[in-house]
A and B are shown apart, each in its own frame.
Chain A
Amino acid sequence: MIRVALRGLAGRKLRAFLTALAIVLGVAMVSGTFVLTDMIDRAFNDIFTQSYANTDAYISGKSPDFNFEGDQVAAPSFPDSVLPAVKNLPDVEAAGGTVADESATKIIDRNGKPITTGGAPTFGFGLDYSLPQFNPLKLTAGRWPSKPDEVVIDSGTAGDQNYEVGDRVRVATLKPVRPFTLVGIAQYGTVGSIGSATFATFTLPVAQELLDRKGQLDAISVSAKAGVSQDQLVAQIKQAVPLNKVEVRTRSQQVKEAKKSASFTKIIKYFLLSFATIALFVGAFVIFNTLSITVSQRIREFATLRTIGASRRQLLASVSIEAFVIGLLGAIIGLFAGIGLAVGLNAFFKAVNNDLPTTGLIVAPRTVIVSLLIGVVVTLVAGLAPAVKATKVPPIAAVREGATLPRGRLAPFLPFIAIALVALAIALLGYGMFADAIATAVRLLSLALGCLVLFIGVALLSPRLVPTLSRIVRPIAKWVMLGVSLIIYPTRLGAWLFRRGLYARGIPGLQRAGVLVGGLIMLLVVGPGLLLAAALAMRSLSSAIGYGFVAAVLVTEVVLVIWVFVTVVRRLRRRGFASELPSVRLDPATDRLSGENTRRNPGRTAATAAALMIGLALVTFIAVLANGMKESNRRAIERQVKSTYMLVSANGFDSISTSAGDAISKAPEVSVASNVRSGVGKASGSVQQITGLDPKTISQVYNFEWKDGSNASIDNLGAYEAIVDKTFAEKENLSVGSRFNMLTAKGETVPLEVKGVYKAPPFYPLLGEVSISLPFFDKLYERPQNLYTFLNVKGGPSAAAEASLEQQLTNFPDAKVQTREEWIDAQDKDFDSFLLLLYVLLALAVIVSLVGMINTLVLSVFERTRELGMLRAVGMTRVQVSRMVRQESVITALIGAALGLPLGVFLAVLVTRALSQFNVEFLPPWKNLIAFAIVAMIAGVLAAVAPARRASKLNVLRALQYE
């Protein structure tokens, strides 16, 4: 029996491969994710292990025991008087102090711009170079800095910028930008690259000055005398240092601590794996559908096996083994494709200079096991229903012409099951979105499960919808087909001319040359030109998709050039033939038949369309939600900001040195400059963003919607006084006059009295939940930094004013002046690029569903061989046959869109409701949705290319005799 199954599979290699392809992509993403994140993890591990190789004890500032928005709040610095105290301990062999800052140090590139790292740290160090055993950096050229104006930078930046030892390099820090002599180039341990992160390392006193750590250190590395254990050393140090200010750890404790900062690889991993899950889910649909079709096509084969004595169990095993082999095949290919993908991505990131820290290729056993297991299990589960169906074939079907499968026992209840599933899905989604006080994991799980169940429910329901939907979308498909054939007409005409030039007999030489040249121009210039114009026009609907189309046109051009070469070579080998003049027409006959074809087996069309539906629904969901969020963001900012300009960091959200704000307020045009400081504190037991406001100016540039209090409350804000956001006030039951305690990042507890309560837009409050006066803020926080500086200029905004403002910033390359509009637009852009990433990841799911469409079409064409033979015999041309198959595919794709787009909008509505507390708007981007529908239709056209070709090349005679 097993042999029969395997032989059968070997006899249908192409089909098996196409089916496996559905699983390949999902598994590739799983294995690629594992390999990539393993490589990053290992790199970090190496960095930390090497950094602390000679450290027996590590002293750092006592970190406030709270984190903010997932980030561990950086430990504060501690007085450098700790260092001599430690050095003098009996068991200490050596101790070296370090200054390290993660964000303030920016190396200036050759064009005078600070090097951006896309969120990766920009380290500034001050080290004791006389103790190389504690130095995590390794010189690759030059020497360590010994004078105040000397610096060493990382080899990555030096390489990119062509900085060489002896060059003058400017570096911005918390102090204005300053030139240094580059005396050396170094790397982090043996790791060639630490991703896009940069570092600059100075002498210790210089670093203390530049990074605002006068008399302070961030860490001390200590080594023990021979025979002293790490624990002993730590115990001894603990006796000698102020434990309210510092923490002391052994080497292994410190390595563990440091690794926490690299936990973002986990986030990357889960993020990518969730998209892999989506692709696998869609793949399961495709496999289910393909196996169902092949089972129903092989009724006779199964029936014959039954008549010669095969048991139901054996049939079940036979189909399951087939699924198993397909799954295993797909998983193996996927595993290797994923490894290739990881290596390729890494190379790509390196090429675009945005590399993640990595080491050599790591394929952990876990990667192999999980990938193979997932591929096989998903395929087996998807193949279960078709396998059970195969067992229901009665032996008598062997002798009956055109026997169909008996309807399952569940069939009559299917619509009810589907409705129950949809209801369950909505309940799950509702629970996930609206239930209070449940763990985030539970929430996410119920949302994800809700989505999956919803998709399955709608897919089960959709066979009922297919006939109606098919009728509705058929006219659209007809016009789409006409539109597509019009757009590609010049290209086809060019191909026709070119072939005519090559093959047609009896054309004079000169005329032949003319036909050839004309054909080439048509084929390679005019045709693609028209396509390019269409792609560019698409940008008005969705710029991302428009550019995707432009890329597709470029690929097409390459394919066309290859085609020309292949055709010429074939001609030289005396093969091939002239084609027929392409025509563009509406064809009622094929139009009708294609519509009927999509309806004749609604279940099959539904399953094919459902696979596409999933991808489209998710894309739509994201697009609608994102559009709403962008709008909410804009409205929130417009509601709050009254000033014309704002001074923000280069990326728009980092904090900036206060001296930039101070410098710009000196510009002669400035009428109002209001700094906003930002820090983190634990207010009334919960961690909140704390802002420091300039009481004198803030009400002129920020629009407070007072609930309790007035602008006067802020004008007179003094020390130990605060204004709070309404949401926070309600949560903590605060009103004007009430008091609460705040724990600062330094670990100090201060009492605050509420002076005013205002309402901030929940989507994007620009100020923290708790705001205190700026002078008081500067007392509480070491190294205060600005989040933004709101600016008004005399006589209103003008180009001259802007130029003058920028003039003040020459020494602060990391700060920039933007109008409120520009600032919002920049945020929209950041949002869009994240959106683009999501689209790209979801495209995988759409591609999988495309494989499913190709599969279904190929199988349908195969199944209808005799019918196609008849149609050809009664006068259908090849062109008509392929037109029919193509339109069938477009109709299926449109059904997918008709299901997916509303479903996505529906999900977005749900989520918008759930996020109503954040004022998220519901604002579907109609243009984008139209673009998605167009993409779906084009996917339909593309999916049909090969099947339509196959159908039209059918040998009529063999088709008629085919059984």
Chain B
Amino acid sequence: MEGQQDGLAHAQAAAANGAVVTATEITRRYGEGDTAVDALRGVSLDVAPSQLTAIMGPSGSGKSTLMHILAALDLPTSGYVTLAGTRLGALSDTEITKLRRKHIGFIFQFFNLLPMLTAEENILLPLSIAGEKPDQAEFEELLKRVGLTDRRTHRPAELSGGQQQRVAVARALVSKPTVVFADEPTGNLDSKTGAEILQLLSEAVQSYDQTMVMVTHDAKAATIADRVLFLADGRIVRDLGRADEEQILETVREVTLT
């Protein structure tokens, strides 16, 4: 009972300080009975606008589950999530889908581009699905930012891994979503191209005020974040601000040992 009231107070406080995504006391349980697994055991969190929030933690800590719930891909067992002022939960699948169109962008570890579309078509896919027309000037600008101006007519098979992920980043940004979720965006790249992608993400946040949530276990990736959260056993165990690689690695070690 007390937790619930705390939760309400938390949500109100978060809304007051302008958070775009808030999670309130969310838990997530998979399965039932003896085999039930608690992936999240009560997580509350605000994602501040124009910031990059990194979520770290050892595998099985619940970081992916948390991101999926924040991104309205999954529903919590208890607790609730609000996204841009809308409380998720009682919405139908179509309503949630439309919400995602408007407010959420995704960057996946494995790029997930459509092989038969060109780079340009892949980037424009979310707009096309939503039945919207891109602003040509803005689109050219975006292409320039991600450095794909001369690669626009290439298909994914003709692009390097880094270029493919640039396409994916542009696809996430094209609809100017409220928040972009990145799931291990550098996980499938070598360190050099990984760094380039991180640079791109950081730029989006710094220069274009893009709100972003990134799940990663790469300490270097987390250095570009304004805030680094550490999850272990379904709970937030550390909440760091900007941190360097050393600090992050140290915290990871601590978290893993406890």
Chain B residues 81-136 with CB under 8 Å of chain A are 92-94, 97-98, 100-101, 105-106, 108, 110, 112, 114-117, 125-126, 128-131
Q: How far in angstroms is the closest Cβ of chain A from B66?
A: 13
Q: Evaluate contact between A877 and B93: CB separation under 8 angstroms.
A: yes
Q: Evaluate contact between A866 and B112: CB separation under 8 angstroms.
A: yes
Q: How far is the CA of A592 from the CA of B94 in the complex (A)?
A: 21
Answer yes or no: B73 CB below 8 A from chain A CBs: yes
Q: How far in angstroms is the closest Cβ of chain B from A219?
A: 77
Q: How far is the CA of A874 from the CA of B71 in the complex (A)?
A: 11
Cβ–Cβ < 8 Å partners of B171 in chain A: 874
Q: Evaluate contact between A874 and B114: CB separation under 8 angstroms.
A: no
Cβ–Cβ < 8 Å partners of A880 in chain B: 129
Q: How far is the CA of A870 from the CA of B71 in the complex (A)?
A: 13
Q: Evaluate contact between B68 and A876: CB separation under 8 angstroms.
A: no
Q: How far is the CA of A257 from the CA of B190 in the complex (A)?
A: 88
Pick the residue among B73, B114, B117 that contacts A873 (CB under 8 A).
B73
Q: Evaluate contact between B116 and A589: CB separation under 8 angstroms.
A: no
Answer yes or no: B6 CB below 8 A from chain A CBs: no
Q: Evaluate contact between B93 and A589: CB separation under 8 angstroms.
A: no
Interface centre among A599, A873, A875 (most CB of B within 10 A): A875
Q: Evaluate contact between A874 and B94: CB separation under 8 angstroms.
A: no
Q: Evaluate contact between B94 and A877: CB separation under 8 angstroms.
A: yes
Cβ–Cβ < 8 Å partners of B131 in chain A: 587-589
Q: How far in angstroms is the closest Cβ of chain A from B114?
A: 7
Answer yes or no: A580 CB below 8 A from chain B CBs: yes
Q: Evaluate contact between B112 and A877: CB separation under 8 angstroms.
A: no
Q: Evaluate contact between A589 and B128: CB separation under 8 angstroms.
A: yes
Chain A residues 842-896 with CB under 8 Å of chain B are 866-867, 869-880
Minimal Cβ-Cβ distance residue in A for B109 = A960
Once A and B bind, how many residue pairs between them come within 8 Å at the CB atom?
70
Q: How far in angstroms is the closest Cβ of chain A from B116?
A: 4
A sample of 9 cross-chain residue pairs with beta-carbon separation below 8 angstroms, ordered by A number, consists of A580-B92, A589-B125, A870-B106, A873-B100, A874-B129, A875-B130, A877-B93, A960-B73, A960-B112
Q: Evaluate contact between A875 and B100: CB separation under 8 angstroms.
A: yes
Q: Evaluate contact between A960 and B97: CB separation under 8 angstroms.
A: no
Q: How far is the CA of A25 from the CA of B129 in the complex (A)?
A: 40
Chain A residues 562-603 with CB under 8 Å of chain B are 580, 587-590, 592-593, 596-597, 599-600
Cβ–Cβ < 8 Å partners of A588 in chain B: 128, 131
Cβ–Cβ < 8 Å partners of A870 in chain B: 106, 108, 112
Minimal Cβ-Cβ distance residue in B for A600 = B116
Q: How far is the CA of A596 from the CA of B110 in the complex (A)?
A: 21
Answer yes or no: B74 CB below 8 A from chain A CBs: yes
Minimal Cβ-Cβ distance residue in B for A598 = B116
Q: Evaluate contact between A875 and B129: CB separation under 8 angstroms.
A: yes
Cβ–Cβ < 8 Å partners of A871 in chain B: 125, 129
Answer yes or no: A445 CB below 8 A from chain B CBs: no
Q: How far is the CA of A438 from the CA of B171 in the complex (A)?
A: 68
Cβ–Cβ < 8 Å partners of B110 in chain A: 401, 866
Q: How far is the CA of A580 from the CA of B131 in the complex (A)?
A: 19
**A874-B106, A875-B97, A877-B94 given as contacts; is B126 within 8 A of A957 (CB)?**
no
Q: How far in angstroms is the closest Cβ of chain A from B159?
A: 14
Minimal Cβ-Cβ distance residue in A for B102 = A875
Q: Evaluate contact between B97 and A872: CB separation under 8 angstroms.
A: yes
Write the residues of chain B forming the contact surface with A, with a CB cutoff of 8 angstroms: 68, 71, 73-74, 92-94, 97-98, 100-101, 105-106, 108, 110, 112, 114-117, 125-126, 128-131, 171, 175
Answer yes or no: A956 CB below 8 A from chain B CBs: yes
Q: How far is the CA of A360 from the CA of B171 in the complex (A)?
A: 70
Q: Evaluate contact between A877 and B68: CB separation under 8 angstroms.
A: no
Q: How far is the CA of A878 from the CA of B100 in the complex (A)?
A: 13
Q: Evaluate contact between B114 and A596: CB separation under 8 angstroms.
A: yes
Cβ–Cβ < 8 Å partners of B126 in chain A: 874-875
Q: How far in angstroms is the closest Cβ of chain B from A605?
A: 12
Q: Evaluate contact between A596 and B108: CB separation under 8 angstroms.
A: no
Q: How far in angstroms is the closest Cβ of chain B from A895?
A: 16
Cβ–Cβ < 8 Å partners of B175 in chain A: 875
Q: How far is the CA of A875 from the CA of B97 in the complex (A)?
A: 5
Q: How far in angstroms is the closest Cβ of chain B from A528?
A: 27
Q: How far is the CA of A875 from the CA of B114 in the complex (A)?
A: 15
Q: Evaluate contact between B117 and A596: CB separation under 8 angstroms.
A: yes
**A596-B116, A600-B116 given as contacts; is B94 within 8 A of A875 (CB)?**
no
Q: Evaluate contact between A875 and B101: CB separation under 8 angstroms.
A: yes
Q: How far in angstroms is the closest Cβ of chain A from B172?
A: 8
Q: Evaluate contact between A867 and B94: CB separation under 8 angstroms.
A: no
**A600-B115, A867-B112 given as contacts; is B128 within 8 A of A592 (CB)?**
yes
Q: Evaluate contact between A876 and B93: CB separation under 8 angstroms.
A: no
Known: A596-B116, A867-B112. 14 other contacts (CB 8 A): A593-B114, A596-B117, A597-B116, A866-B110, A867-B114, A870-B106, A872-B97, A873-B100, A874-B105, A875-B98, A875-B101, A875-B129, A876-B129, A877-B97
Cβ–Cβ < 8 Å partners of A596 in chain B: 114, 116-117
Q: How far in angstroms is the closest Cβ of chain B from A673?
A: 75
Q: How far is the CA of A600 from the CA of B116 in the complex (A)?
A: 6
Q: How far is the CA of A956 from the CA of B108 in the complex (A)?
A: 13
Minimal Cβ-Cβ distance residue in A for B111 = A870
Cβ–Cβ < 8 Å partners of B116 in chain A: 596-597, 599-600
Cβ–Cβ < 8 Å partners of B125 in chain A: 589, 871, 874
**A956-B73, A957-B68 given as contacts; is B97 within 8 A of A876 (CB)?**
yes
Q: How far in angstroms is the closest Cβ of chain A from B113?
A: 8
Minimal Cβ-Cβ distance residue in B for A880 = B129
Minimal Cβ-Cβ distance residue in B for A871 = B129
Q: Evaluate contact between A878 and B101: CB separation under 8 angstroms.
A: no
Q: How far is the CA of A880 from the CA of B115 in the complex (A)?
A: 19
Pick the residue among B94, B101, B106 that contacts A879 (CB under 8 A).
B94
Cβ–Cβ < 8 Å partners of B117 in chain A: 596
Q: Evaluate contact between B94 and A580: CB separation under 8 angstroms.
A: yes
Q: How far is the CA of A869 from the CA of B93 in the complex (A)?
A: 14
Q: How far is the CA of A590 from the CA of B93 in the complex (A)?
A: 18
Q: How far is the CA of A282 from the CA of B234 in the complex (A)?
A: 55
Q: How far is the CA of A580 from the CA of B129 in the complex (A)?
A: 19
Cβ–Cβ < 8 Å partners of A597 in chain B: 116
**A589-B131, A874-B125, A876-B129 given as contacts; is B100 within 8 A of A957 (CB)?**
no
Interface centre among A587, A874, A957 (most CB of B within 10 A): A874
Q: How far in angstroms is the closest Cβ of chain B from A631?
A: 47
Chain A residues 402-443 with CB under 8 Å of chain B are none
Minimal Cβ-Cβ distance residue in B for A579 = B92
Minimal Cβ-Cβ distance residue in B for A864 = B114
Q: Evaluate contact between B74 and A957: CB separation under 8 angstroms.
A: yes
Q: How far is the CA of A588 from the CA of B133 in the complex (A)?
A: 11
Q: How far in angstroms is the closest Cβ of chain B from A447?
A: 41
Q: How far is the CA of A526 from the CA of B68 in the complex (A)?
A: 44
Cβ–Cβ < 8 Å partners of B73 in chain A: 873, 956-957, 960
Q: How far is the CA of A599 from the CA of B128 in the complex (A)?
A: 20
Interface centre among A870, A872, A873, A878 (most CB of B within 10 A): A873
Q: Evaluate contact between B129 and A878: CB separation under 8 angstroms.
A: no
Q: How far in angstroms is the closest Cβ of chain B from A182?
A: 74
Minimal Cβ-Cβ distance residue in B for A577 = B92
Chain A residues 878-937 with CB under 8 Å of chain B are 878-880
Cβ–Cβ < 8 Å partners of A869 in chain B: 112
Interface centre among B94, B115, B116, B130 (most CB of A within 10 A): B116
Cβ–Cβ < 8 Å partners of A874 in chain B: 100-101, 105-106, 125-126, 129, 171
Minimal Cβ-Cβ distance residue in B for A956 = B73
Cβ–Cβ < 8 Å partners of B100 in chain A: 873-875
Q: How far is the CA of A81 from the CA of B40 in the complex (A)?
A: 110
Q: How far in angstroms is the closest Cβ of chain B from A866?
A: 7
Q: Evaluate contact between A878 and B93: CB separation under 8 angstroms.
A: yes
Pick the residue among B94, B114, B115, B130 that contacts A878 (CB under 8 A).
B94
Q: How far is the CA of A593 from the CA of B125 in the complex (A)?
A: 10
Q: How far is the CA of A429 from the CA of B1 in the complex (A)?
A: 85
Interface centre among A580, A866, A957 (most CB of B within 10 A): A957
